[in-house]
Structure 1
Amino acid sequence: MCRLFGFRSAMPAAVHPALVTEKNSLLIQSREHKDGWGIAAYGAEPVPLVAHGVGPAHSDPDFERVSSRVSSHTVVAHIRQASVGAVELRNSHPFHHGRWTFGHNGTLRDFAKHRAAVEALIHPSFKAHIKGTTDSERCFYLFLTRLSARYTLEHSVAVEAVARAVAETMTLVSAITDVDGGEGPRSAMNFLVTNGEVMVASRRNRTLFVSTGPTRNTVPELPAVGSQVSQLIVASESLCGGPYWAQVSEEDVIAVDARLVFHRWRVHELTGGDLFPPVNPGAPRNAA
């Protein structure tokens, strides 16, 4: 089990409070989720700058040092509580490939048993990039496999396509892992993915909250679908307990596009009936 943080804004902004100084910042949460951390931030270049640590964020001065320097329009941060894979730098989230950054809060059910079946869904050109031993990294490259079958990863991609690839990943994985006779709860797949322009998050078997910043509303609610926001903050837990954190529903996928227009779907709405075409018909577009 881990904790996620995503920030997408019209204007670059500091995220140090959310990561370090809020009452329920990631630094505070890292006292429980102590098995590594990572921060990815997008600047002028399309490829993010990424920093990782292998120890608890609350006792690693690099976490606060990096956090204090980040001012960006798009940030993904993660603190890890290891469930699959050793506590090693190569297993720290967020994972990144080219323009794409990915974090996961959750665990695939009986992953050791199903690892080969999950890996069989990943295109060989992506499989060669896997460095660690986590279920999460494999979900990332399965997501890229699905997305790159239709779109070039180095260019802008429609938010609906990214959301669909996230939903397909969730559905394909759950069809393997959540089978009768398995032990424990179903696979938890809270994913957070961005290319610096669009940002997409899913909720499955873990909590997920969204904020658009301070508001006068006394009842927390998600933005209206189709509305434009000035910023979107995604977190596994509300960071300061304020009234402006709205909970994402189970089996929902939420997103903002490059213009910061808010979108929301049910997972089954995105997968439709075209979920199981061959996933390896040829080399993905810009897989390297």
Structure 2
Amino acid sequence: MCRLLAYSGSPIFLEDLLIHPAGSLVSQSMAAREARTVVNGDGCGLGWYAERPEPGLYRGILPAWSDRNLVSLCRQIRSGLFLAHVRAATSGEVSTGNCHPFAHGRQLFMHNGQIGDYPRLRREVEAMIPDALYGERRGTCDSEAIFLAALGRGSEIDPAGAYAATLRDILALNGGPDEALRFAAVHSDGERLFAFRWASDGQPPSLYAKLDGSSVLVASEPCGCDPSGWQPIPPGSVLEVADGEARLRRFDPLGAHAQPSAAPRVSALRDTVATAAATRNAA
């Protein structure tokens, strides 16, 4: 499985999270601690928001640990909202078009997981992409197909609803996948950040969140100079960060993804995530 990291908060240099700290994303590309695939060397990518309307995007097929361009960009780029990904391919060849994040206008998306039985379902999954968006298909992997299909279902306005509808439609294809559909993913429109953790078999890939002052980090594995404070995002949840506040709500493509009655502030994120996890474990 892949490894990913997203950040929303005061602008920082990307190298402060992606390169230098113990357990950084680059170090996870060589030795992931919470994944079946220890080495994630099938490419890497960055997406960041700065002074232009559209996000910057860098994707390459070199492993993150040997990509000098990646290191140079991380040293120079300063951003208050960015996504980063290192890939271990489960579908699609090693190519730039299959590297994350994927972009459309101001939208960015990256994914850790898989559509089970994708070779059998690929043609039907791709048919879910609207004609107006199919021309933007650059790769062959399942993650990009999910992104484009969700755009056609309104992810620019309601990402949680659009991804729920997309995953539900995939499960309904030709009797559904024989293997699990797993979805740990991040979507951003430059203002909001959505982090999803869900799987059709109840065993989604790892995904954590951390409050650091007024900033929020999301990652496949805890990382950074201070490893304390990381909490797992509960399975079947989506974490939304916007306007200095965070909401943790249910995400269930097979049912309803309910809104909380009141949105907890970012300062309460740690308690919110921990409480939700304890509630689910007790259920």
Q: Where does 1:79-90 land on structure 2 (aligned, <5 Å)?
A: 79-90=86-97
Please report the RMSD computed on the Cα atoms of aligned residues, expressed in angstroms: 2.1
C-alpha displacement at 1:174, in angstroms? 3.2
Do the aligned partners of 1:102 and 1:194 also contact (CA within 8 Å) in 2?
yes
C-alpha displacement at 1:15, in angstroms? 2.6
CA distance in 2, matches of 1:264, 1:193: 15
Which has more strand, going by share of residues?
Answer: 2
Show CA shifts across 1:45-79 (max 9, x none): 22011111111110111111111112111101110
Q: Where does 1:190-269 land on structure 2 (aligned, <5 Å)?
A: 190-204=184-198, 205-213=204-212, 230-240=214-224, 242-257=227-242, 259-268=243-252
C-alpha displacement at 1:123, in angstroms? 1.0
Which structure has more RCO (C-alpha within 8 Å, separation ≥ 6)?
1
Show CA shifts across 1:267-288 (max 9, x none): 2389649xxxxxxxxxxxxxxx
Identity between Structure 1 and Structure 2 (%): 30
Do the aligned partners of 1:111 and 1:177 also contact (CA within 8 Å) in 2?
no
Matched residue, 1:4: 4
Q: Cα 1:95–1:211, aligned 2, differ >3 Å: closer, same or farther?
A: same
Q: Where does 1:101-112 land on structure 2 (aligned, <5 Å)?
A: 101-112=108-119
Matched residue, 2:162: 165
Do the aligned partners of 2:167 and 2:253 also contact (CA within 8 Å) in 1?
no
C-alpha displacement at 1:201, in angstroms? 1.1
Matched residue, 1:276: none
Do the aligned partners of 2:170 and 2:176 also contact (CA within 8 Å) in 1?
no
C-alpha displacement at 1:244, in angstroms? 0.6
Size of the aligned set, in residue pairs, is 243
C-alpha displacement at 1:20, in angstroms? 0.7
Three-state SS of the structure 1 residue aligned to 2:248 is strand
Show CA shifts across 1:212-270 (max 9, x none): 116xxxxxxxxxxxxxxx2111101111472210100111111112x121112212389
**Structure 1, unaligned stretches of length 5 or more?**
215-229, 274-288
TM-score normalized by structure 1? 0.79
Matched residue, 2:126: 119
1:134 to 112, 131, 141: 141
CA distance in 1, matches of 2:172, 2:231: 29
